[in-house]
Chain A
Amino acid sequence: MASQEVLREEPSRASLINNPTVRGILYQCLVVALLVAGVWWIVHNTIVNLTNLHIASGFTFLRGRAGFDISDTAIAYTSDSTYGRAIIVGLINTLIVAFAGIITATIIGFIVGIGRLSKNWLIQKICTVYVEVFRNIPPLLVIFFWYSGVLAVLPAPRDSVHLPFGSFLNQRGFYFPRAVWGDGSWLILVGLLVGIAMAWFVARKAHLRQMATGQQFPVFWTSLALIVGLPLLAYVLSGFPLTFDLPKQSTFNLTGGFVVKPEFLSLYLALSFYTAAFIAEIVRAGIRGVARGQSEASAALGLRSGQALRLVVVPQAMRIVIPPLASQYLNLTKNSSLAIAIGYPDLTATTGTVLNQTGQAVECVVIMMVIYLAISVLTSLLMNWFNAKMALVER
């Protein structure tokens, strides 16, 4: 008995040193301790050095009056607003351009990606050239291409190009009429919401009916009629409350209307076209990744090639496409910081201005890093959720 107990105890005592689990935990604790010590040392040293160099520090400067103006502001902002608000204006501008860019890049990317697989020689070559050109040029050059190459050669305000529907194009931007909502225009919004709700309901009913009886229903045209028709009806019934503020020529430039500035346009177009080239390749890879038998089987079932693509191939390709797509979205968002080169007031540009006006370099860089990190993590989480939803559900 005694010897057995010794035998039982011996390995357990030795395992405290040699046990892989214990050692693993020990090493991990050591690494964490070193990391914490390193970070603490850097932070402490920074604070000491800032004090030695007589540089004011802390985040209280964010409450100070900014004193400078920003050209594109989505929220109310004047030179009397705070530095903090200036940074928020920049953040919103970044989000706007990133969001618009992601949507457009995805649409162009899917079209071009599918186009590269087209059997039509011309379409296929055009798409290939597009991908190779935009994928192999640095994004900054693409931005300059749009800003200096395309938009800057547009005419001066006095010789603006007249476009249909009272819109104008000149080197200061793209001007179009701004809708002015009069009394009773809430009815139009209600009409739109009801239209969308009814369209969704009709689509659901039609789907159920097709599942049950195999009969199809013209969902698209019905939905279109509902979504467009109901607001139109509301517009007429409420007595035409909608008027338009048209851009007009004044001393310096066109005034009135709604203007999209060339800085935004160049950045948005450049980011969209650049990222679309990568998305196109991802989409092509995704479609190629679906076994050929799948489209052959759909053909055998009598589906037309468009239907086969929409109903069979693309849903399966999406599972391959989504994870790399997420990293392209992150790239686009981060590339939007190149806005600084053409003067679009994004997060980097406005925070950079705040940095210089206040001299709070460390704080401003920290703010920027935290915000970009937060945007990226949120985008990743959203895409992970979408990926989980699209993933093959095993039954």
Chain B
Amino acid sequence: MKNIAIGILTAAALGLMASAASATTLDTVKAKGFIQCGVSTGLAGFSAPDDKGDWQGIDADFCRAVAAAVFGDGTKVKFTPLSAKERFTALQSGEVDILSRNTTWTINRDTALGLNFIGVTYYDGQGFMINAKKLPGVNSALQLSGAAVCVQSGTTTELNLADYFKANKMEYNPVVFEKLEEVNAAYDAGRCDVYTTDQSGLYGIRLTLASPADHVVLPEIISKEPLGPAVRQGDDQWYHIVKWTYFALLQAEELGITKANVDEMKNSASPEIKRVLGQEADTKIGTDLGVSNDWVVNIVKAVGNYGELFERNVGSGSPLKIARGINALWTKGGLQYAPPIR
């Protein structure tokens, strides 16, 4: 129901909005004093509230990083949980300033939906999970013909699923829900045989099931799912701030700047580190971007570098224990690569 409400609100908002050019997102954000960040309704490792009600995960921390860049304070974020169906409308209508919600970057979303993806904070792929106890003989996705498959509506997952079964000439019964919790509950209750979503998501969801050990993630990855934050089109300044926050996280890892050593690093002998941390004399890197010159220091102090953020939320420091894999820096054989900050 909520998505309809938002749809109508958008329609109303689009209708009633003054047609004159409105203030920039940066000005609006500064005026209200916080960033409104669209996250998932609860996906472990990406954005999920912990037992104290604080949002944790890569996506949540990314918004904190942007807040640190803008305000010098990573806590100036408010989170809006959004279902897959609500997310784009919420961003388009201005309800959120950043959509940081394990969202796949596609050309359609970048063009027809009026969004701009800023980069890929997590390289993912779609996989399948089954209950190995109930289906002992199944060890490949190609054996799934005839299965009932639980999937969240309005996702690229839903489309890849249809394509994969069609391409392999297999049948399936889609069991489609709007909200992640509804899909989880239906799978756990045995309404469907297979759960499909991004593989990182499957590992996270497995932890929340009644008996996680019974469930296995099948080896097949059937799609590319580059997940990243998105902003509205038409505000280049805000787009650049969010994009370069992501690059700053990568650059900090590449240069070995961590949450612990960031203050020492300011006095580093390396001109590159000094430049990135805004210690160069008369530097204008930060102010040209629209933030203060010590923006990278603020980001790293708030959330750490990309590697710290990854390990804390989905890697070795988390229950998910996902390996860096293709999400390692380009210097370590991965795909994460930042253009130079200079």
Contact = CB atoms under 8 A, between A and B. Distances in A.
A358 B112 contact: yes
B234 A352 contact: no
Contacts of B135: 251-252
B19 A55 contact: no
Interface in B167-197: 172-178, 182, 185-186, 189-191, 193
Contacts of B111: 56
A285 B268 CA distance: 86
A32 interface: no
B25 interface: no
Nearest to A355: B7
B85 interface: yes
A262 B158 CA distance: 21
B85 to A, nearest CB: 4
B8 A55 contact: no
Contact of A79 (B21, B114, B163, B186): B163
Contacts of A342: 177, 182
B233 A171 contact: no
Contact of A46 (B11, B108, B148, B233): B11
B147 A252 contact: yes
A356 B234 contact: no
Contacts of A338: 1
Given A45-B16, A352-B178, A358-B112, A365 B11 contact: yes
A31 to B, nearest CB: 20
B109 A359 contact: yes
B341 interface: no
Chain A binding surface SS class: helix
Given A67-B159, A68-B158, A71-B175, A53 B233 contact: yes
A156 B148 CA distance: 13
Nearest to A153: B189
Contacts of B16: 42, 45
B7 A67 contact: no
B332 interface: no
Kindly state the interface size class of chain B when it binds its partner.
Answer: 35 or more
A53 B159 contact: no
Contacts of B161: 69
Given A45-B17, A45-B19, A46-B11, A67 B112 contact: no
A345 interface: yes
B1 A340 contact: yes
B11 A362 contact: yes
A338 B4 CA distance: 11
B115 to A, nearest CB: 8
Nearest to B182: A343
Contact of B85 (A158, A262, A356, A365): A356
B191 A50 contact: no
B112 A55 contact: yes
A361 B89 contact: yes
A53 B146 contact: no
A253 B146 contact: yes
Given A67-B163, A340-B1, A352 B154 contact: yes
A284 interface: no
B88 interface: yes
A335 to B, nearest CB: 11
B162 interface: yes
Interface string B252-272: 000000000000000000000
Interface in A226-274: 250-253, 255, 262-263
A152 B189 contact: yes
A345 B134 CA distance: 27
B189 A171 contact: yes
B85 A355 contact: yes
A97 B108 CA distance: 34
Contact of A345 (B17, B176, B185): B176
Contacts of A48: 19
Nearest to B158: A68
B92 interface: yes
A309 B171 CA distance: 54
A212 B81 CA distance: 74
A156 B189 CA distance: 9
B176 A361 contact: no
A62 interface: no
B148 A361 contact: no
Contacts of A368: 4
B176 A52 contact: no
A295 B7 CA distance: 54
Interface in A359-380: 359, 361-362, 364-366, 368
Contacts of B109: 359
Interface in B1-46: 1, 3-4, 6-8, 10-11, 14-17, 19, 21
Given A251-B137, A343-B176, A353-B153, 10 more contacts: A42-B15, A67-B159, A68-B158, A70-B174, A251-B135, A349-B153, A352-B4, A353-B176, A356-B84, A357-B154
6 contacts: A49-B14, A53-B234, A79-B159, A172-B191, A251-B138, A341-B182
List of 9 A-B pairs having minimum Cβ-Cβ separation, nearest first: A356-B154, A359-B113, A79-B162, A55-B114, A42-B15, A54-B114, A56-B112, A356-B85, A365-B7
Interface of B: 1, 3-4, 6-8, 10-11, 14-17, 19, 21, 84-85, 88-89, 92, 108-109, 111-114, 134-135, 137-138, 143-144, 146-148, 153-154, 158-159, 161-163, 166, 172-178, 182, 185-186, 189-191, 193, 232-234
